[in-house]
Structure formats: C-alpha cells, structure tokens
Chains A and B, each alone.
Chain A
Amino acid sequence: MKKKFLLLLLAASAFSFTSKAQDTVKTTADAPLVLYGSVDTYYKDDFSGHSNIPTSFASDNNSVSIGMFDLGLKKTVGNASFVGEISFGPRGQEQSLPDGGDYHIQNLYVSYNLTSKLNATAGYMSTFIGYEVISPASNFNYSTSYLFTNGPFQNAGFKLTYTFSDKVSLMAGIFNDEWNAYTSQHDVSTFGAQLTITPVKNWTAYLNVATGPTSGTEFDLTTAYQITSAFKLGLNAASFTPPHYGGGFDGVALYPQLAVSKVVTIGLREEYFKAKTEDELSTYVLAGPLPGGSVLGSTLTANIKAGPLTFIPEVRLDNVNKQQYSTFTNSSLAPTTSASQFVLAAVYAF
C-alpha cells in the first residue's frame, strides 16, 4: 500500500514538474486557455426612497442586490481565436441581454488573422459604440450613463479590421438589423465602422458609426487619454437618430479620473444628455428625460482596490432642465426635476 502511495506521489510530482517545465516560455498571447470574469454586488439608496434614475443596472433601491457572475474563456492558436463569455444575474441577463432568459451570452465569436494586418471576426460581440460597457469590471462608475443605456450593448455580425500602423486602424462590418439581438429580425443590414487613432502614447480615440434601416443611425466619439500616471481623461459624445418619426438623442460625457494613492482613484462623470423631439407617430422610447428635455448627470465615484476586489462608493445627482420633461418624483411622489442616489458596490475581477 505504501509503495503504491509512493508511486502515486512520484507520478503526481513528475506530472507537476513536467507541467511546470512546459510553462517555461510564453512569448505570445496565444499559448494558454485564458479564463476571466467578474462577480459584483451592490447596495443603492435613492434619497427619494424609491428608484428614480432610469439608467442601466444598480436598479434596486434599499436592497443588497446582485449584479452578475460573468465567466469568459478564450484561446488563440496560430491565427485563429475564439472568445466565449457567459453571464448570470440581473445585470447580465434581463437588464442587458435579449430574450432575458435562455441565453446569457456577452461575447461569442471567432476571429482569424488573415494577414498580420487584417483580422476577420464573426459572431455576437460587445458593441464598438460608446465608452461604457456591461461588465462592471471594465467600467469606472458603477451606475451607467444615459449614452450607454440608450445606445447599443451588443452587435451580431461580421467585421474586418485593418491595422495601418501602430497609430491607425479601421474596422468595417455588417451587422444584424437590430442591436442587442442574437438573431436578425429580417436581415443583416446595419453597417458599422470604427476608425481608431492613437495620436500619442496613452491617448486613443475611436470614431464610430452604426447605421441601418431598422436600427437607426448613431455617430459616436469615444476617447481616453492617460495624461499622467495618475490622471486620465475620457470623453464620449454621441448622436442617435431612429429610422422613423424623429426622436433620438444627443449627448456628451466627460470622465476625469485621478489616482490619489496606490489603491484609491477618484473620478467624476459629468454628462449632458438631450432627448430629441419626435413626431406623434413615433414609438421610440428612451431612458431619460421626455422628448425635448435634457438632463445633467453628475456622478462622483471612488475605486478602492483590495487586490482583485474593488469597492465602488458613488454619489450621483441628476437634474432635468424643466419640470415638464422630468419623470423624477420626490419622497412624496410629487414631480421634481432632480434625483440623487448613493451606491456602494463591490466588484471582484479575475
């Protein structure tokens, strides 16, 4: 018995050393099967006593609630890659994904480097539009902007990306007629393009367009500049027009962030968002002020790192320009132009 145990121990050790030896040299990103993801939870207190601010996520008031469990796997072998990312929980299901139930896909695509400069990708993937994303691990603020909530979350389609140089690349693709849908309603008729420019080191700007007869047209500028090792400035500006009867939105958001210590970064999101006027026949609905109105959203957020865990305390104040465009109500449920809330979230990323 002892001999068997020793043999087993030896075999296990030999296997362990062999595994280590094979891990010795990794010179490219394509070697391992990579696992990543996040888990998040939050508590929100809207100072009116009920939820007011209509942007995505952090929706439950006076409740310790869950965001999502996000799990991704990816692998690259030679020029071929895949990414599969699945999510569970309100943030990753009914609050962001189509169908609300059966599938919980964040990213599911394959890609192939046709040449060293040309990449082809097909599948269902996070949108190329906008500054913020669904995953809380990739956002600085826990609550989201009006621009994010009213823009696309994901697009299914086929795209080609050509890298001209370290400073310029261009993506062009054809996507399903509707945003945020695993399958097309009628056809694959949304055209999308992204011009990426890196004028100087640590500054990248994305000029985006998505346009189609079903999905409407959105122009978007997303840029971020890490000006010093402590200070970063982000900007998102977008304009959306639905395919029929007017409406849509214009907006701009500024994201200054300052690292005040090794573990604490403080950031502000200052957003102006205007709902365009629309015809009576319009069925377009947006999350925000009523058509013709605008809102100024100010969100002060801290990111406090504890290894892979980030605590996110956040205070937010939104103010609509006129009462007639506001959907906010105060603690007595009387109409008001402003809404404010406090959120404390914890996000573990791996």
Chain B
Amino acid sequence: MKKLFVALLCLFAVKSARAQKDLLSFDEHNKYIYYQVVEQPGLITDTFQNRALYFLKINYPKNKIDKSESPAVITGTGKLLMLSGLSVAKHIDGEINYTFNIEYKDQKYRYWLTNFIFTPYKIDRYGNSVPEPGVDIPLEDGASKLEKAQAGSYLDQTGKYSKAFGEKLKQYMLMISAAPVKVDKKKVISTKDW
C-alpha cells in the first residue's frame, strides 16, 4: 500500500511539473514558435483552405486574417489573455498578441504561431481590464522584463493555447465536410390531434 501511495504521489508530481511551455521552441530569428507539420493524405489545397478558413471563423472569430496573394497560405493575428490567481476567480494580467500562419499543399499542411508579444493590463476607473499603452514585451524578453513566475506562467499558458489551436485545426482538417453539422430538427408532439 505504501508503495502504491508513493507511486501515486510521484505520478502526480510528474504530471504537475510537466510544463506546457516546453511545447514552444525557438525559430531561426530566436523567437518562440509553436510549429507543426501534419500529413493529411487525400486532401487537395482547395479543401485545406476551405477547412482552415472555416476553422478560424468558428473558433477564432476575433482573429484578423491578412489578405493573401497566395491561395496556399493563410496568415493573421490573434490574441489570448494571460490569467493568474485562483481557479474560481481569476485576475487578468494582460494579453499576448501573436501571428499565425497556416500553409498547405497537396497531402499535407503546416502551421505555426509566433511573434508572441505580452501587453500588461491595468484596471481602469470602471473596473475594466485594459491594455497599458506603450508597454509591449516580446515573450523572449520575459525573463528579463517580467517576474520569473510570471514569465513561466505566460509561457505555459501560451504553450497550452498553441497546442489547443493545433488540435482544433486538426479536427477541422479531418472533417468530411466543412459545412456546419446539421442538428436534427426537434421532434414536437402535438397534443391537439390524437
């Protein structure tokens, strides 16, 4: 029993310590990047594009998509909030703006999120959390410009977010049809006719 107890404790410790920030790597410009290449046999460029656009429209409606000359690339920007505090009541520390890039060619696609810039929030007179103007901290500079715990937490949250972005994208790329799933019409029972 004691061994089981120790094993369980070790398991929890390992799980807790597993940091999502390890999901982020550095690119050739020394910037954090979440980069994945996914093989998707049987799909052509047009299908990839339709599904990627539909994925963005449904899941990230506030993301801005750049106008692109190439039909094989979608680029744009988005943002995510950095939270801290208790699980029941959070504090919004700031936001991270990022750029995303989705590219595809026959049979495979790749995507990456990079250029993560942290902007701290302040509380305004109405209690709203609003960005502090003029304060933009690249995540790579977090170690020198943020508290150590803060920088670690933001990397962790960004890693989780990026991973979730990729997993959702994969789901949409696998969809048989990019059209919204039709919900069966609710069956209504009339009590007037019997």
Q: Which residues of A contact B161 (CB under 8 A)?
A: 24-26
Q: Complex formed: what's the CA distance from A9 to B83 in Å?
A: 26
Is B26 close to A, CB under 8 A? no
| Contact A6:B147 (CB < 8 A) given known A19-B87, A29-B129 | no
Q: Complex formed: what's the CA distance from A109 to B129 in Å?
A: 15
| Contact A6:B133 (CB < 8 A) given known A23-B87, A126-B126, A138-B123 | no
Closest to B165 in A: A25
Q: Main SS of the interface on chain A? A: mixed
Q: Which residues of A contact B183 (CB under 8 A)?
A: none
B88-96, B108-116, B174-182 - interface stretch? B88-96
Closest to B16 in A: A16
Is A85 close to B, CB under 8 A? yes
- Contact at A138–B125, with CB atoms within 8 Å? yes
- Contact at A27–B134, with CB atoms within 8 Å? no
Q: Complex formed: what's the CA distance from A32 to B122 in Å?
A: 17
User: What distance in Å separates the Cβ of B101 from its nearest Cβ neighbour in chain A?
Assistant: 18
Closest to B131 in A: A202
Q: Complex formed: what's the CA distance from A34 to B134 in Å?
A: 24
Q: Which residues of A contact B127 (CB under 8 A)?
A: 36, 72, 74, 83, 85, 106-107, 126
The size of the chain B interface, using a CB distance under 8 A, is 39
- Contact at A25–B160, with CB atoms within 8 Å? yes
Q: A34-B91, A36-B127 are in contact. List 20 more A-B contacts (CB 8 A).
A: A6-B8, A13-B12, A25-B80, A26-B83, A28-B81, A29-B81, A29-B129, A72-B123, A72-B127, A74-B127, A106-B127, A107-B126, A126-B127, A137-B123, A202-B134, A204-B133, A229-B134, A229-B135, A262-B145, A350-B91
| B contacts, CB < 8 Å to A | 1, 4-5, 8, 12, 15, 59-60, 62, 78, 80-81, 83, 85-92, 122-129, 133-136, 145, 147, 160-161, 164-165
* 10 chain-A/chain-B pairs, Cβ below 8 angstroms: A27-B78, A27-B80, A32-B89, A106-B127, A133-B125, A135-B125, A138-B123, A226-B134, A229-B134, A350-B91
| A contacts, CB < 8 Å to B | 2, 6, 9-10, 13, 17, 19, 23-29, 31-36, 72-74, 83, 85, 106-107, 109, 125-127, 133, 135, 137-138, 201-204, 224, 226, 228-229, 232, 262, 307, 349-350
